[in-house]
């Protein structure tokens, strides 16, 4: 393939249609097209951040098929309401995962306020927004009160990136009652 010119171009409506060809993306620039590289046929190898150059069309495949992404978390200690984690607090590292191909999928992680509130869990390093495949961050769970009831919290991940089918997605963390908890006391 001959070398393509590197001069800048602007995406007129007819070029946008040729690139996007009936997709739902509202692509305004070539750089924006790379956000949807797999579904719009661009080879991210040739992306030059902040530019719109003809050379970035190398390996462009107009017949590319959209990729469906799935997001998830790993590293959350296994527990359920029938066998909750111990009542003592803990800090653990969780990993944001994207499959099959991370491309430019980004997400965020937050606590969902349900049942027992969210004040007993935190993200101590604040790394829970703008995460991409393989990024890690810590979650700290405070110890339960000595007479505290069993409790649960939801950790929610979400992504607004194109092609993600399971956003938002919730994970539940269950914590055991404090050692002096009496279910018969109000």
Do 129 and 166 reside in the same domain of the chain?
yes
**pLDDT single digits (tens) 28-55:** 666 666 555 555 667 777 777 767 677 7
Q: What is the pLDDT of residue 175?
A: 92
* Residue-wise DSSP of 109-151: EEEE--SS-STTEE-TT---EEEETT-EEEEEEPPPPTTPPPE
Q: What is the pLDDT of residue 23?
A: 54
Do 25 and 115 reside in the same domain of the chain?
no
Residue 31 lies inside a defined structural domain of this protein:
yes
Q: What angle do CA 66, 72, 75 make, to 5 degrees?
A: 150
Other residues' Cβ atoms within 10 Å of the Cβ of residue 27: 19
Do 80 and 41 reside in the same domain of the chain?
no
Last residue of a domain, one of 50, 66, 82: 66
Q: What is the pLDDT of residue 13?
A: 52
Do 105 and 46 reside in the same domain of the chain?
no
Q: What is the pLDDT of residue 58?
A: 74
Please give the tally of structural domains in the chain: 2
**pLDDT single digits (tens) 55-73:** 777 777 666 666 788 999 9
Q: What is the pLDDT confidence band of residue 182, given thresholds at 50, 70 and 90? A: very high
Identify the CA nearest to 108 among candidates 133, 129, 94, 136: 129
Residue 184 lies inside a defined structural domain of this protein:
no
The CATH number given to whatever domain includes residue 159 is 2.60.40.10
Q: What is the pLDDT of residue 169?
A: 93
Residue 106 lies inside a defined structural domain of this protein:
yes
Distance, first Cα to last Cα, the chain: 77
Q: What is the pLDDT confidence band of residue 171, given thresholds at 50, 70 and 90? A: very high
**pLDDT single digits (tens) 82-141:** 889 889 989 999 999 999 877 678 999 988 877 677 889 998 766 688 888 999 989 999
Q: What is the pLDDT confidence band of residue 143, given thresholds at 50, 70 and 90? A: very high
pTM: 0.65
Q: What is the pLDDT of residue 9?
A: 56
Distance CA 39, CA 27 (A): 12
* Domain coverage including residue 150: 70-175
Do 77 and 159 reside in the same domain of the chain?
yes
């Amino acid at each position: 393939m001959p070398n393509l010119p590197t001069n800048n171009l602007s995406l007129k409506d007819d070029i946008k249609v040729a690139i996007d060809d009936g997709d739902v993306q509202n692509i305004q620039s070539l750089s924006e097209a790379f956000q949807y590289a797999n579904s719009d046929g661009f080879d991210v190898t040739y992306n030059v951040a902040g530019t719109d150059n003809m050379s970035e069309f190398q390996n462009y495949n107009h017949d590319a098929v959209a990729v469906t992404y799935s997001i998830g978390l790993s590293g959350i200690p296994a527990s359920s309401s029938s066998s909750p984690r111990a009542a003592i607090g803990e800090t653990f590292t969780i990993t944001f995962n994207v499959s099959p191909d991370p491309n430019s999928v980004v997400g965020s992680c937050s606590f969902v306020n349900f049942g027992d509130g969210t004040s007993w869990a935190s993200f101590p390093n604040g790394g829970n927004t703008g995460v991409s495949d393989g990024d890690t961050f810590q979650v700290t769970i405070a110890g339960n009160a000595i007479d505290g009831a069993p409790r649960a919290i939801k950790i929610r991940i979400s992504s607004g990136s194109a092609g993600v089918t399971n956003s938002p997605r919730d994970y539940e963390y269950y914590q055991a009652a404090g050692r002096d908890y009496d279910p018969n006391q109000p």
